[in-house]
Structure 1
Amino acid sequence: MTNALGIDKPACATRVVVAMSGGVDSSATAALLKEQGFDVVGVTLQLYDVASMGHGGACRPNTCCAGKDIHDARAVADALGIPHYVLDYEAAFRRDVMERFADSYAAGETPIPCVLCNQTVKFRDLLGTAKDLGADALATGHYVRRGMGAGGPELLKGADPARDQSYFLFATTREQLDFLRFPLGGMMSKDETRAIAARHNLPVAAKRDSQDICFVPDGDYASLVERLRPDAVRPGEIVDRAGKVLGRHRGLVHYTIGQRKGLGLGGGPPLYVVALEPDTGRVVVGPKDALGCSRVTVRDVNWLGGAERELRVEVRVRSTRPPAPAVLRRLDGDRAEVVLDQPEDGVATGQACVFYQGERVLGGGWIAPARSP
């Protein structure tokens, strides 16, 4: 008989490594698995040093903060009576997440560092460490579900649409899904998660959710990019689609596709950022109707679906957007083309395009520069 995690052995003989960030989600995950009788081991990753990044060691409310979060994770592990390890992944995190984040901005893109972190440090490096510790599974506090289909494990949306995090996990591979578990994916509200933490008297039961990029706890990501890639914040021209100069900007890092505020162009009809040109250093603006995009090219596709080459899907082009109906055409290599039924505004290079059929995540990739209205 399989246990609650779908593993064919008793829970007490099943070792589960839990990625403990110090927040309530991962803490409740560890508590729930401990409650179910699993052999739980907590692991927290030291990813960055706030003080060394120019923040003076101070963190704002509702942000991640490395030192405090590690302390909180350790306190939770102590309360649960489980082993807890802190692993130094700073070098890998800087190389695979922070440097690529800065490079993406320098290229006029709008990056998503959380996806890079899941793709590399967590589901590549930490997963390997979990296996080295003799684990049968790696569990996280993400709000997604893992189901079993005819072809093996499948990635599904979280049960609570308001907390679904599947957009950020599109790069999870089939091999990783074999080993990963998401105990909170079926929760219908955050209240259920906090109730688990409160039931176990965990010190983080009322801790607020973080809302900013974890390695930018003061919210000033432009300053971080400037330190890592000074050329990304050089001033330049703001032009209309015909190339007429309308003003000056402070650096491409301060702008994203679809932005209206902060252009400093004075009166006249509303203008929006419709393109960023890293080669010329120009910000291109236009009317709102210039933002519509119905055809999207996607690169570095991670495919979790079947053998179909063309199929009807729903896609998200930003984490905050609801899925939109489209046709997906898989191209040679790891590329795909998405044709939306209705144009989407603000499709930005560097964001993810994630493919769905109902509750199932079919995969996704990165939006490539080729864009056409």
Structure 2
Amino acid sequence: MMKSQIKTIYVAMSGGVDSSVAAALLKKQGYDVVGVFMKPWSPVIETRDKRQETSFCLWRQDREDAMRAAAVLGIPLLTWDFSREYKKEVGDYMIREYKAGRTPNPDVMCNKEIKFGLFLKMALKEGADFIATGHYIKIKKSKIKNQNNKSKFKNIYRLFKAKYLNKDQSYFLWTLTQKQLKHCLFPIGRYTKPEVRKMAKKFGLSNHDKKDSQGVCFIGQLDMKEFLKKYIKSRAGKIIDLAGKQVGTHDGASYYTIGQRHGLNIGNGQGPYFVTGKDIKKNIIYVSNKATSDKRQATSMIVKKVNWVGERPKLSVKLEVKIRYRSESIPVIISLRNSAYQLTSLPAYQLKSVTPGQSAVFYRGEEMLGGGIIQ
């Protein structure tokens, strides 16, 4: 590769094995690689015994791991302080949504506003040709007919599920646009997690056996309810089953999400119970047990703020939708309803635990087409 042809790639390095191997693969291919660690928001939370306040975000350790990986690979590592932006675009958004009775997906918002928003913008400004991340997803460039000029073709970037479906992260990347994707690389999308760990060991990376991160990055191992209590005041309320009978009490409807089964503390021996609905104004949680769990299902739902990664599919065609990260894809028909999309499941299929605020992500086979927010 001629020096003048060498592309500069800024890699988002979190300190984990995936982003470290992404950087290693690009370096091996001859690119000019620059690692960037993004410092997240690190809220200070009062501990359970109320004796001290502490941060549950382990960004310092993660940064040290990223520095070690960069040193082994012989690449520079920059630290960009995005803590203010993390708080505003991800933390504050998440708190607002919970207060309103919805269940947000902070990973989606982090990808949209931070990794493929602020980070991409700053990297390009600093001279990068591309950015790369350790996401498990595949990207392909295709040529399609330009509808505005029938005789010409145009490039379009398409996103597909990762080779390793157990780690596929396409669900969290539905907000990406063509303008962003032309500058994005996903080096590990064609590998399995065991293959990535094996490569990390060969590259001499000490984080080859580091555990995968769990939960929201700026909360760490702290329980979501404990985090929310710092920002949303506790308020005792009733837990009511679908027969209208009170079966327990709770300390704030905003703390619970549709489909939740843990932490309800209903001890009547008729469980397990699931959250089926919430009334934020009345501060009531509605639940059902196994005998009535079919009432948690729906045959249609409304999705707003839809983004199509590439070409918008035709209406009234069959697509698949995922309404939670680990849920199965359900075949649906999409149609327009005012400024939103209505999704109707096919006969013999039902949408389970439809949760306002969560992401509905559309697929056609292995291709991720886009997504939106469940209303």
Moved more, 111-120 or 342-351: 342-351
The residue correspondences of 1:162-311 to structure 2 (distance < 5 A) are 162-187=166-191, 189-230=192-233, 233-241=234-242, 243-267=244-268, 269-270=270-271, 271-286=273-288, 287-304=292-309, 305-311=311-317
CA distance in 1 between counterparts of 2:70 and 2:261 reads 46
Cross-structure match for 2:320: 314
CA distance in 2 between counterparts of 1:112 and 1:47 reads 16
1:10 is displaced (CA, Å) by 7.4
Change (3 A) 1:345 1:306: closer
Cross-structure match for 1:46: 39
1:245 is displaced (CA, Å) by 3.3
Is the 8 Å Cα contact of residues 293 and 345 (structure 1) preserved in structure 2? yes
**1:133 partner letter:** E
**1:317 partner letter:** I
Q: Describe the SS at the equivalent of 1:168.
A: helix
Is the 8 Å Cα contact of residues 99 and 228 (structure 1) preserved in structure 2? no
Cross-structure match for 2:50: none
Change (3 A) 1:11 1:80: farther
CA distance in 2 between counterparts of 1:166 and 1:330 reads 24
1:346 is displaced (CA, Å) by 1.2
Cross-structure match for 1:126: 119
1:326 is displaced (CA, Å) by 1.2
Cross-structure match for 1:72: 65
Change (3 A) 1:292 1:10: farther
CA distance in 1 between counterparts of 2:65 and 2:124 reads 25
Q: Does structure 1 residue 30 correspond to structure 2 residue 36?
A: no
Cross-structure match for 1:346: 353
1:48 is displaced (CA, Å) by 2.2
Moved more, 337-346 or 348-357: 337-346
1:114-163 per-residue CA deviation (whole Å, 9 max, x = no partner) reads 11100101111000011011111110000001112234111111111111
CA distance in 2 between counterparts of 1:46 and 1:118 reads 14
1:191 is displaced (CA, Å) by 1.4
Is the 8 Å Cα contact of residues 12 and 132 (structure 2) preserved in structure 1? yes
Moved more, 302-311 or 163-172: 302-311
CA distance in 1 between counterparts of 2:73 and 2:267 reads 58
**2:197 partner letter:** R
1:218 is displaced (CA, Å) by 2.8
1:315-358 per-residue CA deviation (whole Å, 9 max, x = no partner) reads 1010011211111224454x211111211221111111100001
Cross-structure match for 2:148: none
The residue correspondences of 1:101-180 to structure 2 (distance < 5 A) are 101-151=94-144, 152-180=156-184
1:24 is displaced (CA, Å) by 0.3
1:231-290 per-residue CA deviation (whole Å, 9 max, x = no partner) reads xx3221112346443331121244221233433333364442110111211101232011
Tell me, which stretches of 5 or more residues in structure 2 are unaligned? 48-52, 145-155
1:46 is displaced (CA, Å) by 0.6
1:78 is displaced (CA, Å) by 1.3
CA distance in 1 between counterparts of 2:131 and 2:4 reads 14
Moved more, 27-36 or 171-180: 171-180
Is the 8 Å Cα contact of residues 319 and 362 (structure 2) preserved in structure 1? yes
Q: Describe the SS at the equivalent of 1:184.
A: coil
Moved more, 130-139 or 10-19: 10-19
RMSD: 2.1
CA distance in 1 between counterparts of 2:19 and 2:139 reads 17
Scaled by the length of structure 1, the TM-score of the pair is 0.89
Is the 8 Å Cα contact of residues 11 and 36 (structure 1) preserved in structure 2? no
CA distance in 1 between counterparts of 2:225 and 2:210 reads 27
**1:235 partner letter:** A
Is the 8 Å Cα contact of residues 22 and 70 (structure 1) preserved in structure 2? yes
CA distance in 1 between counterparts of 2:360 and 2:327 reads 11
Scaled by the length of structure 2, the TM-score of the pair is 0.88
**1:344 partner letter:** L
Is the 8 Å Cα contact of residues 29 and 140 (structure 1) preserved in structure 2? yes
**1:301 partner letter:** V
Is the 8 Å Cα contact of residues 222 and 253 (structure 1) preserved in structure 2? no
CA distance in 2 between counterparts of 1:129 and 1:224 reads 30
**1:219 partner letter:** L
